[in-house]
Every structure is written in C-alpha cells, then in structure tokens.
Chain A
Amino acid sequence: MNDTPDQRVPALKTMYRFQWEPAQAAHVLLYPEGMVKLSGSAGEILKRVDGQRSIAVIIDELKAAFGGAPLDDDVRNFLAQAQSNGWITL
C-alpha cells in the first residue's frame, strides 16, 4: 500500500490513447468512438502519467518545467477528476 496520496502512481486505462494532434494543436484522449480535446495543462499532466511516475514525481517535474509555480493542488484535482471520468487508475 502507498503511505500518502501523493505516492500513488496514476496509469492511463488501456482503452484510452493519449496523443498530440497537430491539427488541433492540442493533446487528445481517444477511446472507443469518442474523443476529448485536452487543455494545455491537462496535456502536460497526462503526458507524465505513465504507470511509473507517482503523483509527487509528476508535481515536482511540472514545477521544474514551469518555474516553480504552486500547482500541487491543480495536479491533484485534475487527476482525481480524470479518475472519476474513468480515464486513469490511481
């Protein structure tokens, strides 16, 4: 078991495909007969969801990439939302 919520490791469910779409200039999630266009920040987070990195690691990486902005809660909230949408497991 994981000790703290941030040590959990999110993974994309197998039915979803995450990819960059040049025509939309955005990341998208594709699934059976449907699609979701992701916002810039959602794309940055999901890009790091690989079944290896923990939430804590993802937060650290994003801070490093975006000048130390306080984005901890945004990441946690987005991942909770993604889980309730059925996109990822936590």
Chain B
Amino acid sequence: MAGLPSDISGRPLWLLAELTYRCPLQCPYCSNPVDFARRSDELSTADWMRVLNEARQLGAMQLGFSGGEPLLRHDLEELIGEARRLGYYSNLITSGVGMDEERVARFKQAGLDHIQVSFQASSEELNNFLGGTASFQHKLDMARAVKAHGYPMVLNIVIHRQNIDQIEDIIRMTIDLKADFVELASTQYYGWSKLNLDALLPTREQLRNAEAVARRYQEMMKDRMKIIYVVPDYYEERPKACMNGWGSIFLTIAPDGTALPCHAAQQLPGLTFPNVRDQSIEEIWSHSSAFQHFRGFEWMQEPCRSCPDKTKDFGGCRCQAYMMTGDATATDPVCSKSPRHGQLRAEVERIASLAGSSAPAQPLVFRNSRNSRALSPPVES
C-alpha cells in the first residue's frame, strides 16, 4: 500500500522487524541476503521488546513482522501483544506456512491488526514449484481463515516472468478469496532475485499485457477491492523514490539486530551498520554514520546533484546504483539522465532476447541454506 504522508519525515515511522531468516519456503526472488545461512544469530525476545519500545518512542506507527517466516518465532504472540499495548498498527507479513486457524485467532486476541499472505502463483503446481514447498492448499485455507477472523486482507503476489502470463488467474483467485487489497509486486532485483534475473525479468510485451489486464480489473473491482500493480523499474525512465529517502522514515532491524535504512542495504560496501545490541534506536537513527550516509543531498554526484527532481526520487536506489555501476553514490541507472542508463537498456534487451530464444533456460537458484552456504564465504567475526 505504501500510503505515506508526504508532510512527515525525519522519524522512523515504519519499523520492519525481520524476526528470523529461517523460512520453510525457497522463493528464487527472496529479498533476504544471499548469505542468510551464515547469519543465524537471532535477537532474544527481550531485545525485540526493547526495540519496539524505543522505536515507538521515536514516533514509529507502522510495524511489520517479517522475515524469513516470522511464524517460526514462538514469541510472536508476545511481541504482537506488546506492539498493541504500545499503539502500533501491526502487520504480519507471512507465507501462511506454519499458521493454523487457532493461531490466527490468538494473534487477533493479542491485538494484531492485519495479516498479509503471500502467494507464489495461482496454480498449485507453479506455486509449489516456486516456493519449493507444497503450500498452495494451506495458503488458500489460511487466506480464508484471515478473512473469517475479521482482519483486513492483503494478498501479495510477487510478479516475474514465470508467473506474469497468469496475472488474470491470479487476480481472479484474489477476488474469490475476497481480498481487500491486492499487491502485484514486481520483483526487485537484489539478493536472490539478482542471481535469477535472467529467468525472472519479464519482457516488455509481457508487461504491456499484464498492465492491461490489471487495469481492466482495477476498473471492474474499483469499489470492492484495491489492486496495486507496479511495473519493474528496469523499464522506467525515472527511478523509484527508494525508501522515501535514506534514513527518512524506514527502519529495518535484521534478525541479528543489525539496523538498516533498507532491508537490502547490507550489500553496500564501506558502511558499518549499527546493531541494536550495542546502541539505542535513538543513537542509531539520529547519530550513526550509516544512517547519515545518504541522508539529504550532500552525497550526490552529477547529474543528481543539480537536478530539480532530486527531492522527488532522492537519486533512486543506492543498492541498484552500486550493483550496476560499482559506485553507491552514482545516479540509479534506471534514470535516463544516468550515464549508465544505456547499459541498463542493453542488459534488459539481452534478457528479453533470452526469453524469446529456444536455448535451455538457466535453472533457478532456490533460496535455501545449502545454496546460501555454497554461494557465500563464512562471515568473519
């Protein structure tokens, strides 16, 4: 939904609590870091309680419990209760795997405001293939349970080349489930999805079709259900206002307590991210060098520095800039004013031609511990 008031910033309005990197699913587009299996250390319940309290005092209102799969934390009910007591609007962002109707009811009692269930696709076969788990029927049951227990229901489906042609079936499924909001979220390419970019980026033609379908249903369902579909920014001429600006309103706490301005930021070089085990949220937000680093406009290079649009998009995504140019202070290459924009266009063309060719597709790399360990060296401590 990302409903953001434009007139308030400077406070961590949004707290994303990534409770764990453990997950029974293996989505090849997962946004968790590729080396998640080397980061298995998790905050205690008491640590999380302190984080919730301190962030709320700084003005946080929206709280997302995510992961990994947050249901794997046995203290989830306790954390929800504390969140309610503190006055957060709390959102549980889940695959539904590990939930049953009893737990849905318990969460409600503890004060949870909203459950967002994700689906991988609208067909059992594709859903279970992409998630690497036979989860489809259970997800349907859980979506119904969420609705039956009076929660607003948001269904989230990450859209990419493997499921984009089924977008109509996907929307129909969400209508059958009586969702209030549907987020058709285009894959963002970092973490695991970057590894799988060649197999996930849709072609321009696929996008055009999908957009037309989404628009038709938006119109048709206008008074009953809100459908949000954002196309991948690789096809745009202007970048997204990533995180509404660095250290502006978003605060992510990773499972091990690392505080991040964006859940993908750990890949950026040369930054040391503070940990809630060592510092208060106030110190981290207001004084840590990592949170100051890309705040405001001082860090920018040309063409952003003298561009009038810098207050709108903040120069785009730092991670994307780094991944494509090797320089985290560069203009996001999605922007047509970026000197590297042509390179991004060429990359998109290359991938589109792969999609159209009969050459055997590169197999998907699934997000699981085995692959994570194989792909990343041990973290030094």
Does the CB pair A28–B3 fall under 8 Å? Answer: no
Check A32 against B114 for contact (C-beta < 8 Å): yes
Contact B59 A17 (CB under 8 A): no
A34 touches B7 (CB 8 A): no
Residue B152 lies at the interface, judged by CB distance under 8 Å to chain A: yes
Contact assessment for A35 and B114 in the assembled complex, using a CB-CB cutoff below 8 Å: no
**Residue tally, chain A, CB below 8 Å to B:** 16
Count of B interface residues, CB-CB < 8 Å? 25
Interface residue? B181 (CB, 8 A): yes
B238 at the interface (CB under 8 A from A): no
A77 within 8 A of partner (CB): no
Bound complex: CA of A35 vs CA of B1, how far in Å? 10
Contacts of B7 in A (CB 8 A): 37
In the assembled complex, B4 has its CB within 8 A of some CB on chain A: yes
1/0 contact string of B1-26 vs chain A (CB within 8 Å): 11111011001010000000000000
Q: Given the complex of chains A and B, what is the CA–CA distance between A14 and B153 in angstroms?
A: 12
**B87: Cβ under 8 A from any A Cβ:** yes
From the candidates B5, B150, B181, name the one contacting A37 in the complex (CB within 8 A). Answer: B5
A73 at the interface (CB under 8 A from B): no
Is B100 an interface residue when CB atoms closer than 8 A count as contact?
no
- Smallest CB separation, A72 vs chain B (Å): 27
Contact B89 A35 (CB under 8 A): yes
Q: How far is the CA of A37 from the CA of B9 in the complex (A)?
A: 11
List residues of B whose CB falls within 8 A of some A CB.
Answer: 1-5, 7-8, 11, 13, 58-59, 61-62, 64, 87, 89, 91, 113-114, 116, 150, 152, 154, 180-181
A-to-B contact residues, CB < 8 Å: 14-15, 17, 19, 21, 23-24, 28, 30-37
